[in-house]
Amino acid sequence: MSPHSAGPAQPGSARLERRIGPIQATAINMTQMCGIGPFVTIPAMVATMGGPQAVFGWLVGALLAMADGLVWAELGAAMPGAGGTYVYLREAFQYRTGRLMPFLFAWTAMLFIPLIMSTGVIGLVSYLGYLVPGVVDASGQATVLGHAIGIGVVALVVLLLYRKIAEIGRMTTVFFVVMLVSAVAVIVAAYAHFHADLAFGYPAGAFALGGPFWTGLGAGLVIAIYDYLGYNTSAYLGAEVRDPGRTLPRSIGLAILGIMVLYLLLQLGVLGAVPWQEVAKSSSVASLVVERSWGVAAARVLTVFIVVTAFASVFAGLLGGSRVPYEAARDRLFLPWFGRLHPRLHFPHVALLAMGVITAIGSLFPLQAVISMLTAVFVIVQSVAQVVALIVLRRRQPDLVRPYRQWLYPLPCLVALAGWAYVYVSSGGQQILLSLGWLVLGVLAFLVWARVERTWPFGVREVRESFRTGATPEPV
């Protein structure tokens, strides 16, 4: 099989189309990364880290994102299939545990990917409250009307995704421009009234051992890495990317660097325009900054752009995430109808609908609770396991065609492992217990599924090296 194939061919079946180019791939990543994230989490980051020193939390988050991004870059370029991590875990861990790891990833992805999209919906409703009375209450939480609007937003996203991938690529580029305009407008407004004494007015002892920076770094890193999530979206669409060996590594690296610069400018600008104590208490800090600089009318216009940006992040996330259960179903690890492509538009419409429903449900919960839960859920099965997968594949499939090889290997892998372990521990005891409980349920579900399918551990362990060319199948 060609190293660029998306999976085993099925005679007479529809195939995913490679129509996403490098500009669209980078735009998809950056749109998903930025979205509503910084506009709703800057106050939380400042409050958690106790002052303007919160800006260094973004730098630590960028370091972890880049180390992990280099893992995605090598795996995505070598195995550009639909589903991203699902494909990488399937290929790496099949030798010892059969289909357990890819099954667990699909199991957790059906929860954490929609939860990420739910945060976008929650943020959208929060900023909409600046424009429409009755959408949020005095504490910034969504009202019944706000929840209804959030569910309607999810329905609209799903409706817009009912089209060919080439049309979606063009729409994503437009959304990217709107996102960029929103962020740049806030930055310009902030620096129009920038005060260095506010931006760099660190509290006494801020960086001392036991000070607010170190005590808040763990929880701050959870927030920061949430804001950087999305640099891997193009890898989930690997089977629909042109020249993936070059496009995927570049789209990942450029997206991380671009968003890092954007976040630093945004964070510094906000802290230089508004005292950090006010920032920490604001529920729509971007609107507040623009209102202080240019007035209420400009703030309302900017808020509309931010709402569109939030919508765009949900759009990009459901686009990529819906490919995970699709690929799992093609491997007979999920219910078969998840593997169906729309007969005319050629996209996994059943998977899209299922994730849309979970996104709508997640949007009914508070933002901080959703962020903590989704972080704890994805770290073990996606982040940590994927780093291990790269190491395993280097040993198991040394002749695998790798258009991109990780720089300074294995240093980025070690940095990523240490960073993800710290994030997991910092996510909170309740979230850790819930994530472990979800994994236990996943293992039990896998055992039931394996028994029905008569596969490992109840049958022969099948080894299928889908992306390796000229290889002799290993004995099982």
Side chain identity at residue 347, one-letter code: F
Domain count across the chain = 1
CATH number of the domain residue 62 falls in:
1.20.1740.10
What whole-number distance in Å separates Cα of residue 152 and Cα of residue 125? Answer: 11
What whole-number distance in Å separates Cα of residue 383 and Cα of residue 154? Answer: 27
Q: Which of 476, 423, 404 is nearest to 3 (CA)?
A: 404
391 band by pLDDT with thresholds 50, 70 and 90? very high
Residue with tokens 């780093």: 387
* Alpha-carbon distance values, 209 to 59, 424, 443 (Å): 19, 22, 41
* Alpha-carbon distance values, 61 to 69, 180, 202, 423 (Å): 12, 21, 20, 10
Does the pLDDT at position 300 exceed 70?
yes
Asked if the structure places residue 462 within a domain, the reply is: no
CA angle 79–173–229, rounded 5-degree value? 55
Cβ contacts of 426 within 8 Å, gap of 6 or more: 218, 219, 221, 222
How would you class 378 by CB atoms within 10 Å of its CB: exposed for 0-12, middle for 13-18, buried for 19 or more? Answer: buried
Does the pLDDT at position 2 exceed 60?
no
Does the pLDDT at position 472 exceed 60?
no
What whole-number distance in Å separates Cα of residue 365 and Cα of residue 114? Answer: 13
Asked if the structure places residue 463 within a domain, the reply is: no
Hey, what are 450's tokens?
């394996």
Q: Other C-beta atoms within 10 Å of 250: how many?
A: 17
pLDDT the model gives residue 6: 36
Asked if the structure places residue 159 within a domain, the reply is: yes
Asked if the structure places residue 15 within a domain, the reply is: no
Beta bridge partners of 136: 142
Element holding 191 (H helix, E strand): helix 165-192
Asked if the structure places residue 445 within a domain, the reply is: yes
Asked if the structure places residue 400 within a domain, the reply is: yes
Asked if the structure places residue 465 within a domain, the reply is: no
Q: What range defines the domain where residue 412 resides?
A: 22-453
Does the pLDDT at position 67 exceed 60?
yes
Asked if the structure places residue 359 within a domain, the reply is: yes
Condensed to tens digits (0 to 9), the pLDDT of residues 198-210 reads 999 998 888 888 8
Question: What is the DSSP track for 80-91?
Answer: --BTTHHHHHHH
What whole-number distance in Å separates Cα of residue 192 and Cα of residue 272? Answer: 10
Residue 211 backbone phi and psi in degrees, to 5: -80, 180
Per residue in 112-148, is it b (16+ CB within 10 Å) or e — as a string? Answer: bbbbbbbbbbbbbbbbbbbeeeebbeeebbbeebbbe
Condensed to tens digits (0 to 9), the pLDDT of residues 53-64 reads 999 998 999 999
Condensed to tens digits (0 to 9), the pLDDT of residues 411-441 reads 999 999 999 999 999 888 888 998 999 999 9
Hey, what are 278's tokens?
């006010």
Query: Which of 101-115, 179-193, 305-319, 408-422 ranks highest by mean pLDDT?
Result: 408-422
Hey, what are 465's tokens?
């090296």
pLDDT the model gives residue 418: 95
Q: What is the mean pLDDT of residues 261-287?
A: 90
Cβ contacts of 61 within 8 Å, gap of 6 or more: 221, 224, 225, 227, 228
* Alpha-carbon distance values, 184 to 21, 306, 332 (Å): 25, 11, 46
Does the pLDDT at position 189 exceed 60?
yes
Q: Which of 85, 103, 77 is nearest to 25 (CA)?
A: 77
Which alpha helices (DSSP H) does 195-284 contain, by range? 196-199, 212-228, 233-236, 244-273, 276-281
167 band by pLDDT with thresholds 50, 70 and 90? low
Residue 403 backbone phi and psi in degrees, to 5: -60, -25
